[in-house]
Structure 1
Amino acid sequence: MRLKRALAAILVLGTAAAGAFVYGTAPAPLPAATWQGLGEPDLANGEQVFSAGGCVSCHAAPGAPDDQKRVLAGGRALKSPFGTFHVPNISPDAEAGIGGWTLAEFGNAMTRGVGRRGEHLYPSFPYASYARMTPKDVNDLFGYLKTLPASTHVAPGHDLPFPFNVRLALGGWKLLYLNDAPRVELADADGTLARGRYLVEGPGHCGECHTPRDFLGGLKVDQWLAGGPNPEGEGRIPNITPGERGLGGWSEGDIASYLETGFTPEFDSVGGSMVEVQKNMAKLPAADREAIAAYLKAIPAR
């Protein structure tokens, strides 16, 4: 009799704990007021956000020629230890893309990882970085995306083994890793440094590649921008902190020049996945590249 009561108590407690977990980690969009009253999007700023975010790098069709780069048809396969993710179509097509989305749906996907149907999105989409973006920049970006060519291409679904194909678990992942707090503390983060922090930690999502990850795929923030294994499995991503193992020998001017021209202080040229990133950074105002450089020289060396 006691055993039955004990088992029943365990079952009740387990059910209650499971219910509390599901409730506490349910998809949590931002308040509706976040996306209201933003006015007409500033398309020029939206294009700059588009470049800073490197949207082309992932969402253009694989192998697309330069004149087709802004057709954001998706389809690229991103391999990871958790399976293969397929990048979606974010062109303004109403059916295959995001042409039928509202600003709130787009904004909550960008900053909260919440899909249009209220589902958790996988963090292969770097919303853990985009969480730092301002509603204005999100609005401007959304407006700019609507001006790009539409595509009817439908990207395949993700190819993930169990248990990674269970979206419910993503609520726990978000509880651990999704926030909008600064990645590092800086003594003086006003003006240029604040802009650099925003670009690197937010739309630029530099840490998604340049910071090592733990076994759950979360960023090891105590090793911010210290480099690590390539998330897609080949080679390593370099350390870009100001230490001897990173950019210690580079000046702020060297970093800003590299982002503009693709040439290092040793006259080597950009390579690998950084090629597309550099092309995007070259489209930003010089002041933004200088702000990024200032931030990268101000963060702790690792």
Structure 2
Amino acid sequence: MGARVRKLVSAVVLFGATAGGVAWFLTKPEPWPAAHWEGLGEPDLANGERVFWAGGCTSCHAAPKTEGDARLVLSGGLPLKSPFGTFHVPNISPDESAGIGSWTLAEFGTAMTRGAGRNGEHLYPSFPYGSYARLTSKDVNDLWGFLKTLPKSTNVAPPHDLRFPYNIRLVLGGWKLLFFTDKPRVTVDTGNPKLARGQYLVEGPGHCGECHTPRNTLGGFEADRWLAGAPNPEGEGRIPNITPGSKSIGAWSESDIVTYLETGFTPDFDSVGGSMVEVQKNLARLPAGDREAIAAYLKAVPARE
């Protein structure tokens, strides 16, 4: 009997180890190969700044309540409360110790578009790499070049304060397996350059779906309700539906949307409020053609009630 029990225990251990190995293989971080970032040349800093404002980097990474040029000091520290616990936004200034100044382009690009840290760890999707996965290699290279021109900060953000089991990064591999994709969220006429640009901006650097799309209990997008509105991640009220099926915004014309993104005023002469204030200020810095592209895409997505 003892020998049979030992064989059974050995078989269970072997099965567990094999299952664990298979699970790790399926969910391990997947950085880009180094060759993916070769041959991009010198960054286009003007385009890098354009990507910077489209991505709203200051909204999360600047110190809270800063104004003017101080917004360009990406010192981190902002707490982001969620049902899983509190995330603390990191320092992404060019400081070599507290920030990401010692990172390579490959490490930065892998974090942005694959959600993996420089040490091979999974990053939490509070950092919207699920949207940034759509970024082109050129835009990543240009953004990286622009970030390196910004002021350094020695601020060290606190570690995340998450509940079990969300504080175990290995769990994120399973989350990515279920929800992470770099594919388009909806089908639009990509033969239309304006629509294609709008889709890229909204689904990629603009990461609009991160707030405007509802999520399931595991934090993944409800794919069939893209941009249909969702609970406010900051805890109060709701983020509105911005599809053509919205009872309010759905009636706006493309020019209404463009004016709102540029000035912050609605067709009814109301003004932007809440967390959208920061977003609107960032988008107002983009070329007019980009705001027009965003508006065209928002009018073309499937209507959701």
| Superposition TM-score tier, normalisation by shorter sequence | over 0.9
Report the equivalent of 2:149.
147
Report the equivalent of 2:269.
267
Report the equivalent of 1:72.
74
Give me the TM-score of the superposition, normalised by structure 2.
0.96
Report the equivalent of 1:248.
250
Structure 1 segment 45-56 matched on structure 2, within 5 A: 45-56=47-58
Distance in 2 (alpha carbons) for counterparts of 1:147 and 1:282: 22
Single out whichever of 59-68 and 233-242 deviates more from structure 2: 59-68
CA contact (8 A) 1:238 1:246 kept: no
Report the equivalent of 1:233.
235
Distance in 2 (alpha carbons) for counterparts of 1:214 and 1:189: 32
Q: Which letter maps to 1:284?
A: L
Aligned-pair CA distance for 1:8 = 4.7
Structure 1 segment 130-279 matched on structure 2, within 5 A: 130-245=132-247, 247-279=249-281
CA contact (8 A) 1:241 1:296 kept: yes
Aligned-pair CA distance for 1:189 = 4.6
Structure 1 segment 72-151 matched on structure 2, within 5 A: 72-151=74-153
Distance in 1 (alpha carbons) for counterparts of 2:107 and 2:114: 10
SS of the aligned residue for 2:250 comes to coil
| Cα deviations by residue, 1:188-218 (Å, 9 ceiling, x for unpaired) | 5530000000000000000000000111111
Aligned partner (choices 58, 61, 84) of residue 59 of structure 1? 61
- Return closer, same or farther for 1:3/1:250 CA change in 2, 3 Å cut-off: farther
| Ranges in structure 1 where 5+ consecutive residues have no aligned partner | none
Give me the TM-score of the superposition, normalised by structure 1.
0.97
- Return closer, same or farther for 1:3/1:241 CA change in 2, 3 Å cut-off: farther
SS of the aligned residue for 2:278 comes to helix
Q: Which letter maps to 2:68?
A: D
Give aligned-pair identity as a percent.
71
Tell me how large the CA RMSD over aligned residues is. 1.4
| Cα deviations by residue, 1:254-293 (Å, 9 ceiling, x for unpaired) | 0011000000010000000000000000000000000000
> Would you identify which runs of 4 or more consecutive aligned residues in structure 1 move more than 6 Å?
none
Distance in 2 (alpha carbons) for counterparts of 1:239 and 1:35: 37
| Ranges in structure 2 where 5+ consecutive residues have no aligned partner | none
Across the two proteins, how many residue pairs are aligned to each other?
A: 302
Aligned partner (choices 26, 29, 32) of residue 27 of structure 1? 29
CA contact (8 A) 1:43 1:144 kept: yes
CA contact (8 A) 1:226 1:246 kept: no
Distance in 1 (alpha carbons) for counterparts of 2:125 and 2:4: 43
